[in-house]
Structure 1
Amino acid sequence: MHHRKREHKVVTRCGCPAEMRIKPRDSTGKWYVSRFVDNHNHDLLPAKFVEYLPSHRKISDVDIVHLDSMRQVGISIPKIYESIAAQAGGFNRVSFTKRDMYNEVRRQRALQNGDVNAALRALANASRIDDRMFWRYEVGVGNHMCDLFWSDGRSQEDYKLFGDVLAFDATYGRNKYNLPVIVFSGVNHHMQTCVFGTAMVSCESQSSYVWVLTKFLECMGGKPPTAVITDGDRSMHIAIQQVFPEAHHRLCAWHLIRNATTNVCNPRFTSLFRHCMLADFEVEEFEMHWQAMVEECGTSDHEWVKDLYTKKSSWATAYIRGSFFAGIRTTSRCESLHANLGRFVEKRYGVLDFVTNFQRCVDFLRDNEDELEFRSSYGTPVIQTQFPELEKSDALCYTREIFVRYRESLKRLVRVTIVECIEADDICVYITQKYRRPDRTWNVTQNSSQDTFHCTCLRMESFGLPCVHIIAVLVRLDITSLPNSLVLPRWSKIARMDLCRDRVCNPHIDPEATYRARIRALLQHCKQRFAKVACMREEDYKTYCQKVVHETNMLEIKNGLQCQATSTHSVPWEGGVKDPIGVRTKGTGRGNEPAGSRGIKRRRCSTCGVLGHRRTRCPNGPTPSRQCAQEPDIHPSTETFETASLNPFRNDTTF
């Protein structure tokens, strides 16, 4: 027998004989009471409970508008209910309950013919404001949506400027269907994460990745990235080779170190492998260190190590050096972006709520960029090096975040010495070396006719910032500002100058900014003048409140923001797309079992295998203090590798 989890609703029908009948008079047109019985066979509710009866509960149109506007900014329904109660003067003055608000949200979704159709309708409405809004979807078996991709106009602008390096990764648990979410991101001229596009897929298969990357390429006008950074997912790797064949695919350094820790289980190997991957070796030096590492650790015949060696062009600095990756070595920016999504997106959200609230997260990132833009334009950094002219001129050129990294090279300049200069026509080669490093030299080639500089360390080609060796040559030549050939436009303050100039010449190129300006102007007028005079008298308040709600509904109908039908069935989206089917995630086991078949999960000791305790409390194992001393934690931390050892701008041993 199936046991019902939810309690049955109480029975409210008791055959009460109380009734009142009202009939019209034919002659006068008035109504009269033809029958009245006031005998009840049950106890009457106290007066304070009457408002909870379904017949007495009602959400007004004004409250519905208030509910919708607050939900659009991610405020939960309980918080909205508290806000309405505070404005009404107490919870007892609110004519509805939280359950009525949930029912209203459910009713609106039913009018929009499902979650997916409502999301597609929202994207279509967004395109009325942003004419560059791009979205595509794909349906599967049973007409259920399986893949969805979208990108707004601002994201496409960012890709034109900063789309040379693309990073993306999949994350789960951001929607109630458990669809993997893929966020395409990069770095702007403030070294801040910017979003290029977003996708929801039914699974992490090769076909899904090919479809998403194809739509991404279509959205960006056929411009592929020059470099792509992902984890080691095989389906993702094959899809990148198929859609972006010319892009240099780099594997995430943090994932490789974690996989080395898991597959080899040797702390010494992990340390040596990290050094081989990140150190600035020449190809011959890398091969020598790799051979010494596998011999010392005895991993010459290890299948994972041999497979990793075949992919060395995707992760070893010796083979990647010279390819531009904007200083990104890991996908931790993607992980950080996924973590920030938790502030705006909840697991219970459907497709509509995810699309709406994810856009809030993107707007938050863009607001931070505006603040960084202001900081870069306001004031001048304090001079901290012995080369004030060179430092000051570069502070006016680079954004504040990039300048701080460039200034580190100026501070290390005292350690570099030019030992020889070879001249030949317009070409001049300067041989440099560092303090206490006589065995290592770097050659800087200057082409005076083209005003270009090239160093054998390839830092300029790899990160877009001049290395300390080139700066030493500039000081030797008594140059007080960086040549244009050494200033990468994507790192400069004027990176967005061309776009801003186009907006001035053509104000319609940024309709979103125009739309926001209209909203601010109208809200200011309504708050300062209209709301004050309309709320002075009770009759004026009721009259104009009804007019505002009525006119708002008419404008929404006029602009296609809501359906004109008042029945429970609205005009469905083209094709009548059904909601997606919940999918299984990687490694999911018990989470997808039927609820009735699950047993009570008990903790099992990893030392003795007995249920009921952990290894730290195992009577047959070592004490916690001895265990910590014998088994050090060797798992890497994302934050540590990204901010310290994996930060190319602060790797002093590399350059």
Structure 2
Amino acid sequence: MMDGVSLNTDPVVDDDADADEFEIEGDCGMAECISQSGVIQGENPLPPVVGMEFDSYEDVYYFYNCYAKEQGFGVRVSNTWYRKTKERYRGKLSCSSAGFKKKSEANRPRPETRTGCPAMIKFRLMENKRWRIIEVELDHNHLISPVSGKFYKSHKLLGIGTKRALQLDSAEEVQKVRLFRTVVIDVEGNGSVEISSGEFRSSHNQTSQLRLKDGDAQAIHNYFSHLQLIDPNFFYVVDLNEKGCLRNLFWSNTRSRVAYGYFGDVVAVDTTCLKDKYQVPLVSFIGVNHHGQSVLLGCGLLAGDTIEACTWLFRAWLTCMLGRPPQVIITDQCRTLQAAVADVFPRAFHCLCLPRIMQKVPEKLGGLYEYASIRMALNNAVYYSLRPEEFEATWEDMIHHYGLRNHVWLQMLYEDCRKWVPVYLKEIFLAGMLPTRPNEVVESFFDGYLDKHTSLKEFLDKYDQALQANHQLEVLADMESRNSGFMLQSRCYFELQLAKLYTNNILRKFETEVEGMYSCFCTRQINGEGEVITYMVREQIEVDGNRRESRGFEVLYKATEMEVLCVCGLFNFKGYLCRHALSVLHQNGIEEIPPQYVVSRWRKDVKRSYVLNHSNGGIDINNPVHRYDHLYKCIMQVVEEGRKSEVRYKDTVQALDQILKKLNLVEGRL
């Protein structure tokens, strides 16, 4: 069973009725709201868990009834609590075998069919006028079978339920939703995106629930229950359809949520599994850490690639991250994703993943005459243009020369060129997450753990393995950067400076630029008027894989502010200065990289503690949940510090042992 408490600030105890309230027992509590709607249909409804919320009393009944039919038992209303205003404020739904019938004085009384079954849910009306499940018991004291479900009366009398809508328009709502262990959200009615008829897939043409196999829903439930026990800040959100079946799902652990605080400036959304029709329709939110390694920032499962589903997922993820959107979000080229991003992240810069676009070239253009020449021309326009006007001219020349004016895919690419062509992205900091050179690829976070044929149960088993492997790589890289010196290939001042500050992985990448300074054979001033001086740096570069040519790179330098800007844009693309800018600094006698070009996200001396630090004030020491969460946060800080060296580890173990002995002594005195 899920947590027996709700983390919402509203009281959820099942207290006795007040003087102005009264209770009604039995099925009469539902008599006025049940309508004829046929037998329930649908597969794998989620089990009820504490914290689920619904718009109405009837919705709770409908949801529990769907679950009951799937499991093979009937439902009846055990109790309904009313205020004197005849407003319902609390209810209890039980298995139809709950309790016992009253003894009859008839000569031939009917045999007892009830068993006193404890299975039930309790729910109550909260201050936000939504009904929340506050207590759950899933175990029965009798055999249940899905086959027998069709014989229960409750499965043929059912009120049509709806889903509650999650409004994320205010900080208050974000804070409130963040405190839920489990919530049910839907994005319908949260604003729409104007689109042309037929441009996107409609949700009515898609399945309205996840395609789950037998036992998948229970596997999700069990796995998430386990995670909540070991991670008190584990966050997940479920979206149920009108039949109570799982439609969309999002989750994120504490480490991912904290990592977003450090590395959430640029986020990529990987929808490969969803687009390529994997058995697991996974969507991953990915960032990059201080070593340039991928870091997971959350996951979701979607029933379909519709605007509604993507918008729901983005809102769920944004809620998990306390309403703080990224500065840049990277996705595949997809009208559905573009509409959802525009709706949920209107202030973020939306980039399209260049490598994934170029991977489609053989499929989209492979059948054309002179394909090899067309591809070479496309590469030249995309990768080697230094200014927008140069790209425009090269693109137009390609379109005209090869007669591609009416090619639909190329037209669509050109319409979106400001979102994926590197020459238009030079002013956007991308932290190395958007490869901008030929033959660079984007690897999925779950490469090696997930393929088209991996089942959901297998994925849940491998999910932890992937996270642990990623965590281990980060820990090893931390140890290498802090404890072992970086083997410098040169004695360049710039390299010596950053070797004291940056992690080794980033230094290796920067070292390529230091070595590249030697291929810059000419650095000359071409304009010296005013404060800004213009330099032309010439370099031998490789073009088309095996041909080299001399290119000139314009670099602007402002001595008073120690500012340097190269036309290649590498600093914003990768997060470190290029060889052309370094050459200009060197020519001007600058021996250290100016501080504005030393990026803190790459530093190895920044302490990063993967412990979630809520900013909602102090704790209530009378609340056991608050005590647990606060102690967990404190002990995780100790763990983070204790793991950094063998000496610290031994001191930590000794200190913890002393604490336990002290606590045992205190308990013995009580």
Choose from 499, 505, 509 the match for 2:633: 509
Q: Which runs of 5+ in 2 are unaligned?
A: 1-213, 541-548, 615-629, 644-648, 655-670
Q: 1:214-252: per-residue Cα shift (whole Å, max 9, x none)?
A: 011111121212222222222122111111122222222
Q: Which letter does structure 2 place at the counterpart of 1:397?
A: L
- Does the CA contact (< 8 Å) of 2:249 and 2:301 recur in 1? yes
Q: Report whether the alignment pairs 1:391 with 2:495.
A: yes
CA shift in 2, pair 1:516/1:340, >3 Å: farther
- Does the CA contact (< 8 Å) of 1:418 and 1:430 recur in 2? no
Deviation (angstroms), 1:401: 1.2
Q: Which letter does structure 1 place at the counterpart of 2:586?
A: V
Choose from 597, 600, 603 the match for 1:486: 597
Q: Secondary structure at the match of 1:132?
A: coil
Deviation (angstroms), 1:335: 4.4
CA shift in 2, pair 1:498/1:419, >3 Å: farther
Q: 1:114-147: per-residue Cα shift (whole Å, max 9, x none)?
A: 6535634543553344332211111113211111
Q: Which letter does structure 2 place at the counterpart of 1:443?
A: V
Task: Give 2:570's aligned residue.
Answer: 459
CA shift in 2, pair 1:246/1:518, >3 Å: closer
Q: Secondary structure at the match of 1:364?
A: helix
Deviation (angstroms), 1:149: 0.7
Q: Distance in 1 between matches of 2:441 and 2:242?
A: 35
Q: 1:268-310: per-residue Cα shift (whole Å, max 9, x none)?
A: 2222112212224211111110111112211012222222211
Task: Give 1:329's aligned residue.
Answer: 434
- Does the CA contact (< 8 Å) of 2:269 and 2:330 recur in 1? yes
Q: Report whether the alignment pairs 1:443 with 2:555.
A: yes
- Does the CA contact (< 8 Å) of 1:136 and 1:149 recur in 2? yes
Q: Report whether the alignment pairs 1:431 with 2:542.
A: no
Task: Give 1:258's aligned residue.
Answer: 359
Q: Report whether the alignment pairs 1:285 with 2:396.
A: no
- Does the CA contact (< 8 Å) of 2:355 and 2:441 recur in 1? no
Q: Distance in 1 between matches of 2:245 and 2:611?
A: 42
- Does the CA contact (< 8 Å) of 1:189 and 1:491 recur in 2? yes
Choose from 249, 253, 274 the match for 1:148: 249
Q: Distance in 2 between matches of 1:393 and 1:233?
A: 43
Identify which range, 183-192 or 125-134, moves more after superposition.
Answer: 125-134
Choose from 369, 379, 382 the match for 1:274: 379
- Does the CA contact (< 8 Å) of 1:442 and 1:455 recur in 2? yes
Task: Give 1:27's aligned residue.
Answer: none
- Does the CA contact (< 8 Å) of 1:204 and 1:235 recur in 2? yes
Q: Report whether the alignment pairs 1:246 with 2:246.
A: no
Q: Secondary structure at the match of 2:448?
A: helix
Q: Distance in 2 between matches of 1:115 and 1:289?
A: 52
Q: Distance in 2 between matches of 1:388 and 1:456?
A: 23
Deviation (angstroms), 1:441: 4.5
Q: Distance in 1 between matches of 2:344 and 2:259?
A: 21
Q: Which letter does structure 2 place at the counterpart of 1:146?
A: R
Q: Between Structure 1 and Structure 2, how many residues are aligned?
A: 403
Q: Distance in 1 between matches of 2:484 and 2:416?
A: 47
Deviation (angstroms), 1:256: 2.1
Deviation (angstroms), 1:162: 1.3
Query: Whose helix fraction is larger, Structure 1's or Structure 2's?
Result: 1
Task: Give 1:300's aligned residue.
Answer: 405
- Does the CA contact (< 8 Å) of 2:432 and 2:573 recur in 1? yes
CA shift in 2, pair 1:354/1:460, >3 Å: same
- Does the CA contact (< 8 Å) of 2:281 and 2:301 recur in 1? yes
Deviation (angstroms), 1:495: 4.3
User: What is the correspondence of 1:160-199 to structure 2 with a 5 Å cutoff?
Assistant: 160-172=261-273, 178-199=279-300
Q: Which letter does structure 2 place at the counterpart of 1:217?
A: L
Q: Secondary structure at the match of 2:558?
A: strand
Deviation (angstroms), 1:196: 0.3
CA shift in 2, pair 1:471/1:169, >3 Å: same
Q: Report whether the alignment pairs 1:217 with 2:318.
A: yes
Q: Distance in 1 between matches of 2:405 and 2:416?
A: 16
Task: Give 1:203's aligned residue.
Answer: 304
Query: Whose strand fraction is larger, Structure 1's or Structure 2's?
Result: 2
Q: Which letter does structure 1 place at the counterpart of 2:605?
A: I
Q: Distance in 2 between matches of 1:517 and 1:319?
A: 43
Task: Give 1:475's aligned residue.
Answer: 586
Q: Report whether the alignment pairs 1:229 with 2:311.
A: no
Deviation (angstroms), 1:406: 1.0
The TM-score normalised by the length of structure 1 is 0.55
- Does the CA contact (< 8 Å) of 2:450 and 2:459 recur in 1? no
User: What is the correspondence of 1:7-22 to structure 2 with a 5 Å cutoff?
Assistant: none
Identify which range, 450-459 or 364-373, moves more after superposition.
Answer: 450-459
Deviation (angstroms), 1:486: 0.9
User: What is the correspondence of 1:614-625 to structure 2 with a 5 Å cutoff?
Assistant: none
CA shift in 2, pair 1:381/1:346, >3 Å: same
- Does the CA contact (< 8 Å) of 1:164 and 1:226 recur in 2? yes
CA shift in 2, pair 1:510/1:167, >3 Å: farther
Q: Distance in 1 between matches of 2:424 and 2:639?
A: 48
CA shift in 2, pair 1:267/1:459, >3 Å: same
Identity of aligned residues (%): 23
Q: Distance in 1 between matches of 2:355 and 2:487?
A: 35
Q: Which letter does structure 1 place at the counterpart of 2:600?
A: P
- Does the CA contact (< 8 Å) of 2:555 and 2:581 recur in 1? no
CA shift in 2, pair 1:219/1:473, >3 Å: same
CA shift in 2, pair 1:390/1:141, >3 Å: same
- Does the CA contact (< 8 Å) of 2:428 and 2:573 recur in 1? yes
Deviation (angstroms), 1:435: 4.8
Q: Distance in 1 between matches of 2:552 and 2:352?
A: 29
CA shift in 2, pair 1:512/1:150, >3 Å: farther
Q: Secondary structure at the match of 1:420?
A: strand
Identify which range, 392-401 or 209-218, moves more after superposition.
Answer: 392-401
Q: Report whether the alignment pairs 1:404 with 2:508.
A: yes
Deviation (angstroms), 1:518: 12
CA shift in 2, pair 1:390/1:335, >3 Å: closer
Identify which range, 118-127 or 293-302, moves more after superposition.
Answer: 118-127
Report which structure shows greater RCO (CA 8 Å, sep ≥6): 1
CA shift in 2, pair 1:167/1:495, >3 Å: farther
Q: Which runs of 5+ in 1 are unaligned?
A: 1-112, 526-655
Q: Distance in 1 between matches of 2:234 and 2:460?
A: 13
Identify which range, 310-319 or 250-259, moves more after superposition.
Answer: 250-259
Task: Give 2:483's aligned residue.
Answer: 378
Q: Distance in 1 between matches of 2:642 and 2:481?
A: 28
Task: Give 1:593's aligned residue.
Answer: none
Deviation (angstroms), 1:195: 0.3
Deviation (angstroms), 1:488: 0.9
Q: Distance in 2 between matches of 1:456 and 1:281?
A: 7
Root-mean-square deviation over aligned CA pairs: 3.8
Task: Give 2:145's aligned residue.
Answer: none
CA shift in 2, pair 1:498/1:348, >3 Å: closer
Deviation (angstroms), 1:429: 2.1
Choose from 433, 438, 454 the match for 1:347: 454
Q: Which letter does structure 2 place at the counterpart of 1:383?
A: L
